[in-house]
Amino acid sequence: MPSPGRLDPDLAQQAIEYCYQQDWSDGLPLVPVSQPLLDRFLAQTGRGPQEVIGSLEATGRDCTVELAAINAAMAGCQPEYFPVVLAAFEALMLDRAARGGGWQSTSGPAPLIVVNGPVRGELGFNAAGGVFGPGFRPNATVARSVGLIVRNAFGVKPHVLEQATQGLPGRWSICIAENEEESPWEPLSVEAGQPAGASAVSATLLRTCEFVDNRHTQDPEQLLWDFADTISRTGALIFRDTSCGVVLCPEHAQLLAAAGFSKAVVQDWLIEHCGRTRAELRRAGKDGVNENNVRFAADTTGAMKGEGEAGGEVFSRILPSRQHVPLVVAGARNAAISMVVRVFGLWSGTAVAIETREDSRTTGTLSGSRRDGGVE
Amino acid sequence: MPNAILDPTGGAGRAPAAEQGQTGGLALAPRRRGLTGAKVGLLVNTKQNADIFLEEVGKLLVEQHGAAGILARTKSAFAQPAPECLLKELTAECDVVVTGIGDCGSCSASAVADGVALETRGTPAAVICSDAFTGSADAIAGLHGAPGYQYATTPHPVAVLRPAQVRERAGAVLPDVVALLTDPR
């Protein structure tokens, strides 16, 4: 730890200002990165610096391990977080929308990053109170790293290739650890193919988060109806189907589990009960579905009015499968407040293992790519 | 000597100016004097109303400008540039291509990318974008070595229009489409 008396704030400010002038910043100060700091990041992985970890066809740009490391360091990560950043980015690249036009979208979607396993405690990820932030360096900087990678490595910047109409609050800040200790169910990573006890990351793109505050009932179905109301709102429906996760607080998850609801039962209940009637959809101009599964106002001409009125009670379900309703447990056990997380496309359903120090030593030696920069 | 501050863009932040200087922009495909007898390709990107819009443009090009026929194709992933096989078919079968509607962040960019790709293959293209997306459209043209690439715009919004309104829009943009596809000199 450097002693404050030997640090030069005036030089630090100049370096920060230089980064602003290069147009690298998301608006907040960046950590200026030097080769020694980059080397400490690269020493955390067995992957070669020039290995490509993601590409954006639209801009013809690739993100290499080295570029990811520079952006993660700029975001304020400690070198030890870097394997989590790599896993998070790989998990996001499994999401079709993130490989396609997601970063340029008018909806301005935010990555949701979910961390499981012992890495949460080792690095100090917050899984409990205030899990959606702020206040915790790993959560804040891992999420911010993704934003800086998109901006700097992929070249997608606001008002240019990034065309978000309004965007959403906290776009590059949603990284949560699952509260496995207070969850009655298996971790998301296990459901997504990783062994129990392994550290892993899952990720998808979100359009927004919406709270459901229900400290009002002990009846599991009343609670689920409250979730269903938020999930089913017409403003969020643009296609025939939608995808919507729930980040349950421990109290809600435990209430459901105590009533005999497994994750799968909760998912099936929501699949069954989330949706709208044709009359409700017509009221919002979303009763039609075209050949591309996009909703539209079908009765503007009046041609379908008679038919629509007759079938007004017909109920359309909107969640096609369990994969469309991922469930995570996070937050404090101090109140019954959960978060509906509105998925932009469709979660891949696959978690990505976080490389451990043992992995990086082994593969680093084999590939000869490990750098000797881990010692200060 | 202090350490250098490392560049997080891989040098790409400086690239556009250098590229412009080197390439001097894109050489457009040779233009016809008019569209009489021309086979017109329509590359529809599936955005709401794009099909009605382009079909009407095609119909008007036949009726009013003597185009010989229409080949309409749809690209299923509006966010992505058109696949190579689709570009090949359009360039092989058509004399000119009209594409759109660039009516979202990614599809405005990819529509312009398709236009540039068609020009590079020797087929004149007219890209139609909503006028709310010129920032994205211009940026992608620069990235593809075609800074200042010209395209047609139609006023935003497009998606909420009724079919008759969409056809009116097609009629309104028609002169720009013809101007982009031809060189009467």
| CA dihedral sign, ordered A315, A316, A317, A318 | negative
Residues A43-73 as b/e (b if ≥16 CB within 10 A, e otherwise) read bbbbbbbebebbebebbebbbbbbbbbbbbb
Contacts of A46 (CB under 8 A, 6+ apart): A355, A359, A360, A361, A362, A363, A364, A366, A367, A369, A370
CATH of the domain at B79: 3.40.50.10350
Report pLDDT for A360.
64
User: Measuring CA to CA, which residue among B63, B64, B74, B126 is closest to residue B95?
Assistant: B126
In this prediction, residue A245 carries a pLDDT of: 98
Residues of chain B contacting residue A301, judged by C-beta atoms under 8 Å apart: 162
- The yes-or-no verdict on residue A126 having pLDDT over 90 is yes
CA distance linking residue A316 with residue A52, whole number of Å: 43
Q: How far apart are CA A285 and CA B14, in angstroms?
A: 46
Question: Taking phi first (over 0 means left), then psi (-120 to 50 degrees means alpha), and beta for anything else, what does residue A60 get?
Answer: left
Residue A155: its chain B contacts at CB < 8 A?
9, 12, 143
Q: Does B43 touch chain A (CB under 8 A)?
A: no
pLDDT at A322 over 60: yes
Q: Give me the residues of chain B with pLDDT under 50, please.
A: 15-23
Preferred mutation among A106, A146, A290 to probe B, highest tally of B CBs within 10 A:
A106
pLDDT bucket at A306, cuts 50 / 70 / 90: very low
Residue B63 CB neighbours (<10 A):
9
Q: In this structure, what token pair is assigned to residue A353?
A: 């293992």
Average pLDDT, integer, range A19-39: 98
Helix ranges, A76-112 (H) = 82-93, 96-99
Cβ within 8 Å, pair A101-B143: no
**Average pLDDT estimate for A219-227:** 98
Closest residue to B109, CB basis, from A19, A58, A153: A58
**How far, in Å, CA of A338 to CA of A265, rounded?**
18
- pLDDT reading at A345 higher than 80: yes
Cα-flanking dihedrals φ and ψ of residue A201, to 5°?
-125, 140
CB-based contact, B80 to chain A, within 8 Å: yes
- pLDDT, mean over chain A: 92
- For residue A273, CA distances in Å to A246, A310, A313, A320 come to 15, 22, 14, 12
Per-residue pLDDT tens over the stretch A274-292: 999 999 999 999 999 998 8
Reported as half-sphere exposure (CB side, CA atoms, 13 A), residue B15 has a value of 17
Calculate ∠ Cα A368-A370-A375, nearest 5°.
Answer: 145
Q: Which two tokens stand for residue A186?
A: 């298996």
Residue A369 has what pLDDT?
A: 36
Does a structural domain hold residue B19? Answer: no
Residue B36 lies inside a defined structural domain of this protein: yes
Nearest Cα of chain A lies from the Cα of B115 at a distance, in angstroms, of 13
Instruction: Decide if B111 is inside a domain.
Output: yes
DSSP A61: E
- Interface check B77 vs A, CB under 8 A: yes
* pLDDT at A361 (0 to 100): 60
Instruction: Provide the pLDDT confidence category of residue A367 given band limits of 50, 70 and 90.
Output: very low
In this prediction the pTM is 0.92
| Total CB pairs under 8 A between chain A and B | 106
Question: Which of these ranges, A271-285, A309-323, A357-371, has the smallest mean pLDDT?
Answer: A357-371
- What is the pLDDT at residue B123? 97
- Nearest residue in A to B159, CA atom: A296
pLDDT by residue (tens digit) across A177-204?
999 999 999 999 999 999 999 999 999 9
Nearest C-alpha of chain B: how many angstroms from A316? 21
What percent of chain A stands above pLDDT 70? Answer: 92
CA distances for B28 relative to A351, B93, B129, B146, B182, angstroms:
46, 19, 19, 9, 11
pLDDT in the model for residue A368 = 35
Give B-chain residues touching A100 at CB under 8 angstroms: 77, 79-80, 106
- Backbone phi, psi, residue A233, to 5°: -65, 140
Disruptive mutation site among A74, A85, A148, A160 for chain B (greatest number of B CBs within 10 Å): A160
Cα within 13 Å of Cα(A20), Cβ side: 9
Instruction: Name the residue with tokens 């891989």.
Output: B10
Lowest mean pLDDT across A32-46, A108-122, A349-363: A349-363
DSSP classification of residue A173? -
The structural domain count of chain B equals: 1
- Give SS3 for A346: coil
Structural domain boundaries enclosing B127: 32-181
Whether B50 maps to a domain, the answer reads: yes
| Interval A141-168 mean pLDDT | 96
Is residue B17 one of the residues assigned to a domain?
no
* Cα separation, B92 vs B85, whole angstroms: 10
Structural contact between residues A202 and A192, judged by C-beta atoms closer than 8 angstroms: yes
Mean pLDDT for A141-149 is 98
The C-alpha atoms of residue A320 and residue A281 are separated, in whole angstroms, by: 18
Q: Do A159 and B108 count as a contact with CB atoms less than 8 A apart?
A: no
Is some CB atom of chain A closer than 8 A to the CB atom of B3? Answer: yes
